[in-house]
């Protein structure tokens, strides 16, 4: 008998649930879409990042030809070629292939030109060995000819050259005519690489005596590692393809993780939306559930039924999300490139690589969000006593009951503690944990905030009855307010946090650029293109008061970190140089060579003012850190050395940049034109304003994707507010009937609802902005320094804050009024009679 009853009650429940779905398909569709948006964003961002990284790694192995191990020069100055026989005969080394590496140009095309010994390369890095085109006229080709050039498919396409033709190649300030003798079939598509004989490359391009790389084939890794440590001087380091891939990974990882996190926020907002929608749907069906409870269904049955609804929403939403996400990733790669505008993977073309594991993870996350959003309200509904619930479909909360504040406080405190913890493995894991905890605390604390904000108004005379009613309603049912607001509070908070961070960052970069770009003209040539004669010619241009030449070189300090940029330039004095914004400094004793390190370099390598550092310049030497300067341009770190010291240590007199001060009485533009006339083509001369504009455009481009993600989160949140408020309003039609009986006009009820909406919107905005300000501080002071190694001062985005508040209040008011109009349209008497 009990069995039969249970069966009947299940049937009844199934019928009720099916009915809900039949009558309100739009509501379920909307929640599924919310999940789909979240999953799609997360998956798309993850796919794009993964594809970009994969193509970057592929590019690395392409250029390296998959050697077991490499000995690499620490700087583009290379190392002495006499290291080669010593490494080649070292224990554990089976073969060594010497490489000269040049960045070359042919017309407008750029490619990496490798000088190789074809015999050694065939044994160590066969993919870099050229294939001659097979044809009757190629019999006299010579792999040892000094002018035979082999191009990868991409380089061949980029230069427009054909096999058998001659090509003018420009590298290291020399133009040489080379014969395109064949292709490099082993180099993957998308990589512009050229290979020629190493002796020819050394001679033609002025690299006699120097090598940039030794590719090694090993037969005993352990023996080789020990031997190489002893052999390598200051000029070279041991590296594997893995370390180079790690370099690329290290540079962009923080950026990628940040984007992933933002995408997850969209998913989280979607989860809140499901929660809102399901809460309401459960509340409205409380009586129905109570009915099946009285028919014999246990509590678990109701939870299971609602959870099943959530699961269906989750599965449908997540599946759609994955499909949309994949499509978005393909489109985004076409539009923005592999780094979504972040500028980390320049040169590489990425193709979307489907990642089944990530797809599974995002599907699971979407499903989990939908399930959680359903089970939480279902549990609350199942707790209600069936008899009471049969009569009352309103707020389960007693208006007189105090609102709990401890969980929110605990979460907020936990977030605060997590924010103080250091980064793990270069990733601000605890920083993100802190943000998640603070966000959760903020959302949980909304009911308390509602009470807190409205209590002072409780006993005031508000002028009109509708306003009083609205205030009392929101004050009395803060749970409902919280349900409507959780999504929007979360997304507003995150948007404000991001906006605060970006505003602060942009402001910091802008004012830093203003300080740094103090000269009148800036000139930039390709690596080391300005020899002393060219420098003299530039300095002698009429109208130039001073030309400060500088040289920038990548310098490998640690093999698996990206090289820092060594900048050799004149430094007037420790404090007085305006283009060196010092954050900290130390005195330089006599007979020590000073260097000034950038803030990221100091963070990355633990350098502090006054400490001594060993740098691989002109043999291994020790330098005194004379100061730390602000730099937002080089995330991998930079070191400034006085040009005189640099020339003394390395003998390198080539320069690639110049900051030019125009003499009084001369027009900058005129000087610029006469300077251009004296320079070879390819040297850019720009004014600081242009540089500044360019830098800020790059900045905006790299943050464009974050704006998009924020906007989507806000839209999802607003949709949540709209859906929840209209549902809540419709559920209160009985209450409106009662009010009409008591004499309120429909206009007054609409006014009441508008006031309620405005109140909710305002509270949501206040909570979101306050929480966002807090999260912004975590972003600025925890996540940014831990991810990018630079600091900045906070600048508040007041415009955005006001705008978001206004938008929220407006949207909530409008929605409430529109919903109220529909709810009060029905006959007042009929509405009351619904009660039985």
Rule CB under 8 A: which residues touch another protein? 81-82, 84-85, 88-89, 95, 98, 117, 119-120, 122-123, 139-146, 197-200, 202-203, 208-209
Q: How far is the CB of 78 from another protein (least distance, A)?
A: 13
Q: How far is the CB of 250 from another protein (least distance, A)?
A: 34
Question: Which is closer to another protein, CB of 144 or CB of 694?
Answer: 144
Look at strands 582-585 and 594-598 and give their pairing.
unpaired
DSSP assignment of 150-215 equals: EE-HHHHHHHT--TTSEEEEEETTEEEEEEEEEE-TTSPTT--EEEEEHHHHHHHTT-TTEESEEE
Q: How far is the CB of 191 from another protein (least distance, A)?
A: 24
Q: How far is the CB of 204 from another protein (least distance, A)?
A: 9
Three-state helix/strand/coil letters over 707-738: HHHHHHHHHHHHHHHHHHHHHHHHHCHHHHHH
Q: How far is the CB of 513 from another protein (least distance, A)?
A: 45
Nearest to 277, CA basis, from 439, 35, 478, 446: 35
Torsion of the alpha carbons at 351, 355, 356 and 359, rounded to the nearest 10 = -110
Question: Which is closer to another protein, CB of 138 or CB of 620?
Answer: 138
C-alpha–C-alpha distance, residues 269 and 487, integer Å: 5
Q: How far is the CB of 235 from another protein (least distance, A)?
A: 17
Inter-residue contact 185 to 106 (CB < 8 Å): no
Question: Which is closer to another protein, CB of 140 or CB of 573?
Answer: 140
Q: How far is the CB of 165 from another protein (least distance, A)?
A: 18
Structure-token match 């490798």, residue found: 114
Nearest to 740, CA basis, from 751, 731, 748, 732: 748
Nearest to 123, CA basis, from 193, 73, 187, 65: 65
Q: How far is the CB of 201 from another protein (least distance, A)?
A: 9
Structure-token match 């950026």, residue found: 255
Q: How far is the CB of 173 from another protein (least distance, A)?
A: 18
Q: How far is the CB of 148 from another protein (least distance, A)?
A: 9
Question: Which is closer to another protein, CB of 178 or CB of 675?
Answer: 178
Inter-residue contact 359 to 267 (CB < 8 Å): no
Q: Angle at Cα 630 formed by Cα 626 and Cα 634, nearest 5°?
A: 105
Q: How far is the CB of 124 from another protein (least distance, A)?
A: 12
Beta pairing partners, 169: 176
Question: Which is closer to another protein, CB of 209 or CB of 619?
Answer: 209
Question: Which is closer to another protein, CB of 144 or CB of 354?
Answer: 144
Q: How far is the CB of 556 from another protein (least distance, A)?
A: 24
Give how far the C-alpha of residue 647 lies from the chain's centroid of Cα atoms, to the nearest Å.
39
Question: Which is closer to another protein, CB of 223 or CB of 330?
Answer: 223
Question: Which is closer to another protein, CB of 210 or CB of 299?
Answer: 210
Inter-residue contact 792 to 780 (CB < 8 Å): yes
C-alpha–C-alpha distance, residues 447 and 474, integer Å: 10
Q: How far is the CB of 162 from another protein (least distance, A)?
A: 21
Question: Which is closer to another protein, CB of 15 or CB of 144?
Answer: 144
- Number of Cβ within 10 Å of residue 146's Cβ equals 18
Question: Which is closer to another protein, CB of 117 or CB of 756?
Answer: 117
Strand ranges (E), 402-468: none
Nearest to 138, CA basis, from 178, 177, 179, 106: 179
C-alpha–C-alpha distance, residues 306 and 300, integer Å: 10
Question: Which is closer to another protein, CB of 97 or CB of 374?
Answer: 97
Distances (CA, A) of 367 to 8, 39, 327, 374: 30, 9, 20, 11
Exposure b/e, 261-290, CB count within 10 A at least 16 = b: bbbbbbbbbbbbbbbbbbbbbbbbbbebbb
Question: Which is closer to another protein, CB of 142 or CB of 165?
Answer: 142
Question: Which is closer to another protein, CB of 211 or CB of 437?
Answer: 211
Q: At what angle do helices 478-516 and 241-284 cross, to 10 degrees?
A: 150
Q: How far is the CB of 203 from another protein (least distance, A)?
A: 5
Question: Which is closer to another protein, CB of 96 or CB of 534?
Answer: 96
- Cα radius of gyration (the chain): 34
Question: Which is closer to another protein, CB of 204 or CB of 786?
Answer: 204
Structure-token match 């393909």, residue found: 330
Q: At what angle do helices 241-284 and 688-731 cross, to 10 degrees?
A: 30
Q: How far is the CB of 248 from another protein (least distance, A)?
A: 30
């Amino acid at each position: 008998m009990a069995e039969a009853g249970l069966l009947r009650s299940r049937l009844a429940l199934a019928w009720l649930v099916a009915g809900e779905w039949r009558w309100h398909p739009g509501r379920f569709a909307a929640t599924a879409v919310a999940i789909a948006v979240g999953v799609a964003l997360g998956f798309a961002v993850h796919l794009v990042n993964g594809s970009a990284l994969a193509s970057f790694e592929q590019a690395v192995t392409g250029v390296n030809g998959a050697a077991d191990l490499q000995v690499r020069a620490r700087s583009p100055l290379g190392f002495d070629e006499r290291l080669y026989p010593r490494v080649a005969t070292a224990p554990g080394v089976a073969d060594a292939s010497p490489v000269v590496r040049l960045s070359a140009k042919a017309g407008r095309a750029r490619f990496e030109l490798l000088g190789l010994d074809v015999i050694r390369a065939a044994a160590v890095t066969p993919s870099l060995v050229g294939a001659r085109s097979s044809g009757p006229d190629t019999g006299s080709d010579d792999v040892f000819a000094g002018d035979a050039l082999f191009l990868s498919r991409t380089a061949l396409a980029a230069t427009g050259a054909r096999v058998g033709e001659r090509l003018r190649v420009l590298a290291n300030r020399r133009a040489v005519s080379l014969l395109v003798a064949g292709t490099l079939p082993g180099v993957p598509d998308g990589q512009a690489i050229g290979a020629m004989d190493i002796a020819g490359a050394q001679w033609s391009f002025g690299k006699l005596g120097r090598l940039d790389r030794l590719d090694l084939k090993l037969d005993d890794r352990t023996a080789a590692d020990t031997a190489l440590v002893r052999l390598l001087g200051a000029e070279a380091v041991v590296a594997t393809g893995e370390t180079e891939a790690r370099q690329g990974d290290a540079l962009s990882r923080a950026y990628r993780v940040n984007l992933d996190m933002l995408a997850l926020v969209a998913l989280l907002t979607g989860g809140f939306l499901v929660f809102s929608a399901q809460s309401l749907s459960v509340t409205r069906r409380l009586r129905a559930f109570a009915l099946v409870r009285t028919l014999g269904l246990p509590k678990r049955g109701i939870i299971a039924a609602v959870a099943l609804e959530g699961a269906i929403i989750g599965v449908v939403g997540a599946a759609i999300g994955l499909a949309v996400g994949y499509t978005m990733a393909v489109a985004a790669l076409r539009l923005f490139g592999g780094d979504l505008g972040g500028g980390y993977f320049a040169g590489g073309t990425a193709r979307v690589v489907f990642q089944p594991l990530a797809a599974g993870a995002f599907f699971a996350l979407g499903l989990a969000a939908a399930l959680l959003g359903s089970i939480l309200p279902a549990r609350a509904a199942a707790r209600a006593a069936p008899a009471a619930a049969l009569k009352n479909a309103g707020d389960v909360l007693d208006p007189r009951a105090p609102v709990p504040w401890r969980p929110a406080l605990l979460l907020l405190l936990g977030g605060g503690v997590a924010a103080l913890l250091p980064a793990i493995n270069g990733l601000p894991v605890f920083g993100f944990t802190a943000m998640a905890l603070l966000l959760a605390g903020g959302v949980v604390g909304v009911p308390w905030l509602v009470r807190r904000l409205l209590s002072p108004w409780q006993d005031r005379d508000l002028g009109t009855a509708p306003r009083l009613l609205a205030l009392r309603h929101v004050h009395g049912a803060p749970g409902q307010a919280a349900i409507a607001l959780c999504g929007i509070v979360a997304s507003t908070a995150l948007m404000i946090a991001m906006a605060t961070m970006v505003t602060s960052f942009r402001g910091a970069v802008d004012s830093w650029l203003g300080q740094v770009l103090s000269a009148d003209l800036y000139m930039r040539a390709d690596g080391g293109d300005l020899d002393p004669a060219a420098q003299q010619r530039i300095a002698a241009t009429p109208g130039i008061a001073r030309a400060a030449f500088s040289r920038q070189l990548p310098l490998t300090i640690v093999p698996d970190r990206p090289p820092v940029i060594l900048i050799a330039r004149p430094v007037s004095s420790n404090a007085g140089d305006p283009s060196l914004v010092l954050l900290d400094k130390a005195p330089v004793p006599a007979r020590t060579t000073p260097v000034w390190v950038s803030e990221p370099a100091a963070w990355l390598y633990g350098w502090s003012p006054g400490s001594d550092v060993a740098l691989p310049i002109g043999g291994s030497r020790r330098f005194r850190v004379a100061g730390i300067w602000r730099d937002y341009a080089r995330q991998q770190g930079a070191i400034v050395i006085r040009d005189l010291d640099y020339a003394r240590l390395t003998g390198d007199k080539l320069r690639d940049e110049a900051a030019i001060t125009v003499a009084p009485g001369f027009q900058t533009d005129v000087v610029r034109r006469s300077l251009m006339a004296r320079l070879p083509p390819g040297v850019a001369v720009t004014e600081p304003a242009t540089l500044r504009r360019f830098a800020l455009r790059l900045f905006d481009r790299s943050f464009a994707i974050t704006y998009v993600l924020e906007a989507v989160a806000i839209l999802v949140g607003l949709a949540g507010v709209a859906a929840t408020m209209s549902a809540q309003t419709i559920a209160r039609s009985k209450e409106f009937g009662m009010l009409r009986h008591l004499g309120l006009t429909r206009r007054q009820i609409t006014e009441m609802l508008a006031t309620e909406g405005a109140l909710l919107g305002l509270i949501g905005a206040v909570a979101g902005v306050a929480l966002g300000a807090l999260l912004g501080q975590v972003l600025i002071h925890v996540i940014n320094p831990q991810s990018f190694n630079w600091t900045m001062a906070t600048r508040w985005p007041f415009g955005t804050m006001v705008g978001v508040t206004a938008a929220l209040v407006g949207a909530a008011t409008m929605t409430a009024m529109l919903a109220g109009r529909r709810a009060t349209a029905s006959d007042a008497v009929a509405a009351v009679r619904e009660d039985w």
